[in-house]
Amino acid sequence: MSDHAFATRAIHAGQDPDPLTGAIIPPIYQASTHVQDSVGELRQGYEYNRAGNPTRSALETQLAALEGGAAALSFSSGLAAEDALLRAILRPGDHVLLGNDVYGGTYRLLAKVFAPWGIEMTTVELGDADAVRAAIRPETKIVWLETPSNPLLKVVDIAETAELAHAGGAILVVDNTFASPALQNPLALGADLVVHSTTKYLGGHSDVLGGAVIFGDDRFYEQVKFQQFAVGAVSAALDGWLTTRGIKTLAVRMRQHSANAQAIAEWADGRPEFETVFYPGLPSHPGHEIAAKQMSGFGGMLSLALVGGADAARRFVESTELFQLAESLGGVESLIGYPSEMTHASVKGTELAVPENVIRLSVGIEDIADLIADLEQALARIAG
């Protein structure tokens, strides 16, 4: 399957027709346990759902194929995937280096759950190679990178960061949720592991929660697999099946998400109501050239800073009609959010705090004229 193009892999990897009935879509194995032919003699290696499920196995094969990885593991949420990975690799006294625009949930996990366990963390501008080099310590085990980042859409050179991490004796983990593997493949650029909230673009329809870890090689697979089994935050069979179904349209969806977001960014750029448009598809974006080099498209996420400050930002997110006020992202429908009080409330008062005049758009695949008209009527409403 590795010799096929991305869209073909997304549809066919791990998706052989059912051998018993010929059903083109593999069934959902909604079973908690599996019959053994004799003690310890398992059918296809399955014994208990927490240890393994055929539907989950099919999804994991699909995920590895999407990212060009050696293997993948599927979890009940993105944070469950991150937690299992961190538990598997880190020990008290270890250090994690993060970007200063990291997802608030990742920061909260490390600051509130792992820090009391003896894990140290530092945030830095990952786009500054000298700052990264200076921040890596002998005890640094992981450099954690989001690109584009959430919510300010910072873009960081993955290949350069991988070299810096490896030179310092650390591994590079890339959260590829915003770009999706349809637009960016960090393992091919030198990353060691990739994580996803599959809730977002991979699922794509705002109807399933999930997460994944994809491995560039076999170094950490068994350790993370043990965490998956021993701690138990596995994806359920139906959730796995829904994620697989979403993945099959990922390539075509990401093209439309990207086209719509580009059009909105160009519409917003230069408008007097916005002081900054955060979108890597704009030539004015500081990470535009890097994004053009390591991504095949610029994605469906963008953020806007309103000239009117926090009050204007709040009123704007409450004035749209097609753009629904909600957390999360990556669904076919457009969402709008106020990061300071929603997705990134956990980092208020820290160096990662999101400016209070920033709003975030997850641009869906609706008709672009309707989306822009909705944003224009919201601007008119707050101006009035």
Q: Of 94, 101, 157, 175, which is the active-site residue?
A: 175
Partnered with residue 46 across adjacent β-strands are: 43
- Annotated active-site residue 200? The verdict is yes
Q: What is the dihedral of CA 370, 372, 374, 378, to 10 degrees?
A: -170
Q: What are phi and psi of 173, to 5 degrees?
A: -110, 130
Q: Of 50, 108, 137, 381, which is the active-site residue?
A: 50
Assess contact for 124 and 131: CB atoms under 8 A: yes
Q: What DSSP assignment string belongs to 231-259?
A: H--BPPHHHHHHHHHHHTTHHHHHHHHHH
Neighbours of 289 (CB within 10 A): 13
- Annotated active-site residue 107? The verdict is no
Alpha helices in 102-209 (DSSP H): 104-108, 129-135, 158-167
Q: Of 29, 46, 103, 338, which is the active-site residue?
A: 103
Q: Of 200, 225, 314, 360, which is the active-site residue?
A: 200
Task: List b or e across 189-212, with b for residues whose CB sees 16 or more CB atoms inside 10 angstroms.
Answer: bbbbbbbbbbbbbbbbebebbbbb
- Annotated active-site residue 175? The verdict is yes
Catalytically active residues are: 50, 103, 175, 200
